Structure 1
Amino acid sequence: MQDSPSWSALLEHADQLASSHIYSLFEQDQARFEKFHVSSSPILFDYSKQLLTEQTVELLFKLAEEKKLPERIAALFSGAHVNTSEDRPAMHWALRSPATDHTFYNGDDISQPVAAELDKIAGFAEIIRSGQWRGFSGYAITDVVNIGVGGSDLGPMMSCMALEDCIDVEPTPLRIHFVSSMDGTQLSPLLDKLNPHTTLFILSSKSFTTIDTLSNAATALNWLNQACSEKEKVLSSHFIGISAQQDKMSAWGIPESNQLYFWDWVGGRYSMWSSIGFPIALKLGIRAFRQLLAGAHCMDKQFQNTPWKQNLPVLLGLIGVWNSNFQKINTHAILPYDGRLKYLPTYLSQLEMESNGKSVTRAGQSVAFKTCPILWGEVGPNAQHAFYQLLHQGTERVSCDFIAPAMRYHEHTNPSLTQQHELALANCFAQSRLLALGERVLPDSSSLPSYKRYPGNQPSSTIILDELTPFSLGALIALYEHKVFVQSVIWDINPFDQWGVELGKKLASDTLELLQGHRSLEGYDPSTSGLVAHIVNAWKQNS
């Protein structure tokens, strides 16, 4: 970036703002909120508590132009091979486009196959939710266990928890469970409680080679076979497969009639819009799942067609670049003030850090600047009693996103619940205010002892949903997906691959052979050799 005029201008501008405080920016401009917020249904985005000015935003827009962001957005939505290291497009957005949009991939209209797969999801969901899907002994399914990991687990799990009490949800007696841990700690106690006659397993894996998923699947199959020795009957009655590799599902034993499919142009962490989202349709009903897709599609259009001053993904992405590269803030907290969004920080951590946690450009050169910050977070009320101490009085600068719905419990008959929602919003706004302005919010802070001082100047954005619904959640997740893409364009990295996770999995396979005695310890580092020897010795002593 050293030869970038806009980058250099932003560095100089950051030096000029280095001694500024967010409090002084509000003092200088009482219209700051009006200038630095955007409202686009179903989301209001307030970035007035960021340490920036109108000049900052204009310089960021110039940087985006210089990095050809408009052309890159057009390439993404045209089906160009933007995933350069794997030589394929990234078309997760096509999964939520209406069939009438006629999306093309390699010259073929894929709208109808995508719509057909969505209809298949709807059909499967209706059969299972209505009690028509029967186990090997003829009993209706009561429990569904989704076995997946990463993108095949986090999106569906997060969405099911976030939306289970929404008014748009179609009630179901089905119980949906999620298993991802390879060590069996999630699956083992679950199997102790479930009935093999009435339990259905969903095996979700894009490659259908993921060892975490297949090891849990093997345990589930063994458990079922203890109740029914007819393996083919068990497989046809108690397993549904979801993958981009139909032959591997068949080889594992899942009949073709029990298979749901998605395409290799869908990245794992972008796959909740595909058949990977089947558990969402099971839990909430197909209508809610379609609304989730519609909300995401609404944000796709916003990203493509809205001028940058009102473009939510562009603003969110560029502000993140400003904080990471020019404010030198290397950690970012996601703070939802709604307990239903408990898993949102975890989901966004994968989305951003697996996408933009890269140190090599698309051309294979080492980057000379920070890329993705470390993401973390927790539901706000819990976090206030935990790590907010560091946010308010620690030595680290942290940027934050506060997220909350404007409406909740407005149709409920218990007024205490309405008051609890008001309390949550009050805490959300108070904490973001204190982080930004510090002790200056008090009428007389000069007499405070040092241990009670609040320096403030911690930048944050606030995202308000009209209400937490399938539509608004879809829009919110797509907003962050496109934020990731904007930042990848500025940093010139590929956000659609994840080679960093591959070698560790390969080494784990080699290490498993060490533990099982099929490979010599010779040539391994002393730490690994010592740890393996210790474990093997412990097994021998307890055998």
Structure 2
Amino acid sequence: MNSDTAWQALEAHAAELQSRHLKDLLADSGRFESLNYAHEGLLLDLSRQRLLPQTVDQLMELAHACDLPGWIEALFQGEAVNNTEQRPALHTALRLPASATLQVAGEDVVPKVHANLARMAQMVDLLHSGQWRGYTGEAIDTVVNIGVGGSDLGPMMACRALDEFEPEQAKSIEVHFVSSMDGSQLAALLEQLNPATTLFIVSSKSFTTMDTLANAATARRWLQEASDLRDEVLVSRHFIAVTASPDKARQWGIPLASQLHFWDWTGGRYSMWSTIGLPIALKIGIENFQQLLAGAHSLDEHFRHAPLQQNLPVLLAMIGIWNINFLDIHAHAILPYDGRLAHLPAYLEQLEMESNGKSVCRDGSASTHRTCPVLWGEVGPNAQHAFYQLLHQGTEPVMCDFVVSARRYTGQRETLQRQHQLALANCLAQARVLALGDAALGADQGSSQPWQRYRGNQPSTVILLDELTPRALGSLIALYEHKVFVQSVIWGINPFDQWGVELGKTMATQLLQVLDSGDHPRASFDQATNGLLAAIGARRKDAGASS
């Protein structure tokens, strides 16, 4: 079967199922058993999706028709799956064990990966033991990660999620994150910090990112104002560069001895497994960071070798294809019922929308299919009091991912265990009501008032972790990474470039030159931009005159 035939068969199948409500599908006593899948401590429940078990079979036929197994092997073999930049996407290599081998362009990349991890472990040990000292000789007690996008979202998400796994030796270091280009985060933070005991991690693949370098320059000036030592001394003691461009970092002033490196085949949004994960290792210790890698590697092995019909990333991805391309659902809510995962929605927004927010296929032709939906989300209990109104009674069909742990607070106070029970109850209740609507209450129990009715039939997936640990989080993130790749194969797009962000950067540089020069009236952009530049100039002139 070719992909066109498989696509047409699914369109016909979707038309047949269009009138079937989830409350009818869930009446099947064997439905959960036939639509839940597990790997290690992770369970994927697809029983509340608007499909039949045979729908999954047809989706797998489409995956085979698109040569998904071949693409998976190409990814892991280090082939140039990032075709527009002619390089591989080897985030999976970053979590390979030291005993593995992977030849890329005639070179085994695994020893270099582990050499960098060992170098990172040395830095972590120096900081945890108090041996890394600032310009006064005092031990560093505060680390500020300066990055943006993948250099910020991934490390911050993991640090917040795994905060309770902080070992004793890590408690001497406080970790902060700064990303906003307007300086508001950094300015407020610097007021609270001691320059003599603060270290900055400048995380930038290219070491040319405007946002990151602006914040780094502000931090540098702050240190210069606090000390009369030479700039090179301050920078060497108070800055670490994490980059794929060591020469540019050295030109900025950070010596090689204070640098950690990764490679151009590590995409920013896939980089938390690399030395970009330094803040994570500082927060949870190098042993727990290795468990994070091990969890991701376990899911990699599952993705590479499990049959498609039992393959969790493939199943999660193909359910998304079903919803987007056959059920016409283009909104996706990420709903963790665990406050530790508060930053997971923002992380997945970048992972999915920057990867698959494309309308051009690998061969340069325009896509004939809808691709990535709009993602958003929030911690479930907050979302219940915010946008669940739309989910339950709005006009927009939305697919939802619920993420929750079966266990938490084991051996701790009964009141905390009770709170976890409350989170579990609300997670399951919301998934149930989204699927069944008023029928969740039983026959004839719904309100007769139309504004109090629940239509249900909103599809959702429940991702159940045994408990949230570094290994489990690694598996969870790898699950979503591979889901993104699978969907890119079905849509025929490249998920590893992000040309859509480049033009805005170029235009910002041009506009910055005009704003710096103050020559607003002579700007030669479009009328709207020229008008705003003139308005900004006039208001600044008026403010200057009044002062």
TM-score range with shorter-chain normalisation?
over 0.9
Q: Give, as a single letter, the amino acid of the residue that structure 1 aligns with 2:326.
A: F
Deviations 1:319-363 (A, max 9, x none): 000000001000100000000000000000000000000000000
2:197 pairs with 1:198: yes
Alignment length (residue pairs) = 541
Residue number in structure 2 paired with 1:308: 308
Counting only pairs closer than 5 Å after superposition, residues 116-515 of structure 1 correspond to structure 2 as 116-166=115-165, 171-229=170-228, 230-412=230-412, 414-443=413-442, 444-445=444-445, 447-515=447-515
**Aligned equivalents of 1:132, 1:166: Cα separation in 2:** 23
Q: Give, as a single letter, the amino acid of the residue that structure 2 aligns with 1:228.
A: S
Work out whether residues 142 and 175 of structure 2, in 8 Å CA contact, stay in contact via their aligned partners in 1: yes
Residue number in structure 1 paired with 2:526: 525
State the shift of 1:421 in Å: 0.1
State the shift of 1:42 in Å: 1.6
Work out whether residues 242 and 276 of structure 1, in 8 Å CA contact, stay in contact via their aligned partners in 2: yes
TM (normalized to structure 2)? 0.97
Work out whether residues 514 and 523 of structure 2, in 8 Å CA contact, stay in contact via their aligned partners in 1: no
State the shift of 1:515 in Å: 1.3
2:90 pairs with 1:91: yes
State the shift of 1:286 in Å: 0.3
Q: Give, as a single letter, the amino acid of the residue that structure 2 aligns with 1:342.
A: A
State the shift of 1:166 in Å: 3.0
State the shift of 1:369 in Å: 1.5
State the shift of 1:149 in Å: 0.1
Structure 1 stretch displaced more, 512-521 or 401-410: 512-521
Distance 1:92 1:384, change over 3 A: same
State the shift of 1:411 in Å: 2.1
SS in 2 for 1:298: helix
**Aligned equivalents of 1:203, 1:2: Cα separation in 2:** 48
Residue number in structure 2 paired with 1:24: 24
State the shift of 1:522 in Å: 4.3
State the shift of 1:169 in Å: 7.7
Residue number in structure 2 paired with 1:537: 538
State the shift of 1:523 in Å: 3.2
**Aligned equivalents of 1:187, 1:487: Cα separation in 2:** 37
Work out whether residues 178 and 185 of structure 2, in 8 Å CA contact, stay in contact via their aligned partners in 1: yes
Work out whether residues 166 and 468 of structure 1, in 8 Å CA contact, stay in contact via their aligned partners in 2: no
Work out whether residues 169 and 284 of structure 1, in 8 Å CA contact, stay in contact via their aligned partners in 2: no
SS in 1 for 2:293: helix
SS in 2 for 1:487: helix
Structure 1 stretch displaced more, 530-539 or 262-271: 530-539
**Aligned equivalents of 1:156, 1:345: Cα separation in 2:** 14
SS in 2 for 1:260: strand
Q: Give, as a single letter, the amino acid of the residue that structure 2 aligns with 1:245.
A: S
**Aligned equivalents of 2:167, 2:389: Cα separation in 1:** 38
**Aligned equivalents of 1:177, 1:3: Cα separation in 2:** 48
Q: Give, as a single letter, the amino acid of the residue that structure 2 aligns with 1:55.
A: Q
Q: Give, as a single letter, the amino acid of the residue that structure 1 aligns with 2:151.
A: S
Q: Could you list the runs of 5+ residues in structure 1 that have no partner in the other structure?
A: none
State the shift of 1:439 in Å: 0.4
Work out whether residues 169 and 288 of structure 1, in 8 Å CA contact, stay in contact via their aligned partners in 2: no
State the shift of 1:173 in Å: 2.0
Residue number in structure 1 paired with 2:12: 12
SS in 1 for 2:517: coil
**Aligned equivalents of 1:274, 1:100: Cα separation in 2:** 18
Work out whether residues 2 and 65 of structure 2, in 8 Å CA contact, stay in contact via their aligned partners in 1: no
Structure 1 stretch displaced more, 447-456 or 258-267: 447-456
TM (normalized to structure 1)? 0.98
Structure 1 stretch displaced more, 199-208 or 50-59: 50-59
Structure 1 stretch displaced more, 514-523 or 456-465: 514-523
**Aligned equivalents of 1:259, 1:13: Cα separation in 2:** 55
SS in 1 for 2:461: strand
State the shift of 1:448 in Å: 2.2
Q: Give, as a single letter, the amino acid of the residue that structure 1 aligns with 2:224.
A: N
SS in 2 for 1:266: coil
Q: Give, as a single letter, the amino acid of the residue that structure 1 aligns with 2:212.
A: T
Q: Give, as a single letter, the amino acid of the residue that structure 1 aligns with 2:528.
A: S
State the shift of 1:2 in Å: 11
State the shift of 1:56 in Å: 0.9
**Aligned equivalents of 2:447, 2:8: Cα separation in 1:** 41
Structure 1 stretch displaced more, 474-483 or 528-537: 528-537
**Aligned equivalents of 1:256, 1:335: Cα separation in 2:** 42
Residue number in structure 1 paired with 2:53: 54
**Aligned equivalents of 1:66, 1:170: Cα separation in 2:** 52
Deviations 1:263-310 (A, max 9, x none): 001001000000000000011100111000000000000101111222
SS in 1 for 2:271: helix
Q: Give, as a single letter, the amino acid of the residue that structure 1 aligns with 2:438.
A: E
Work out whether residues 296 and 471 of structure 2, in 8 Å CA contact, stay in contact via their aligned partners in 1: yes
**Aligned equivalents of 1:145, 1:475: Cα separation in 2:** 27
Structure 1 stretch displaced more, 437-446 or 162-171: 162-171
Residue number in structure 2 paired with 1:40: 39
Deviations 1:508-537 (A, max 9, x none): 011111212366644311111111111111
**Aligned equivalents of 1:328, 1:50: Cα separation in 2:** 14
SS in 2 for 1:334: strand
Work out whether residues 393 and 454 of structure 2, in 8 Å CA contact, stay in contact via their aligned partners in 1: yes
Deviations 1:75-134 (A, max 9, x none): 000000000000000001000000111111111111111111000110000100111100
Please report the RMSD computed on the Cα atoms of aligned residues, expressed in angstroms.
1.4
Distance 1:169 1:428, change over 3 A: farther
Work out whether residues 166 and 283 of structure 2, in 8 Å CA contact, stay in contact via their aligned partners in 1: no
State the shift of 1:171 in Å: 4.2
SS in 1 for 2:537: helix
SS in 2 for 1:467: coil
Work out whether residues 128 and 170 of structure 2, in 8 Å CA contact, stay in contact via their aligned partners in 1: no
Identity %: 57
SS in 2 for 1:186: helix
Work out whether residues 10 and 59 of structure 2, in 8 Å CA contact, stay in contact via their aligned partners in 1: yes
Distance 1:259 1:3, change over 3 A: closer
Work out whether residues 346 and 376 of structure 2, in 8 Å CA contact, stay in contact via their aligned partners in 1: yes
Residue number in structure 2 paired with 1:82: 81
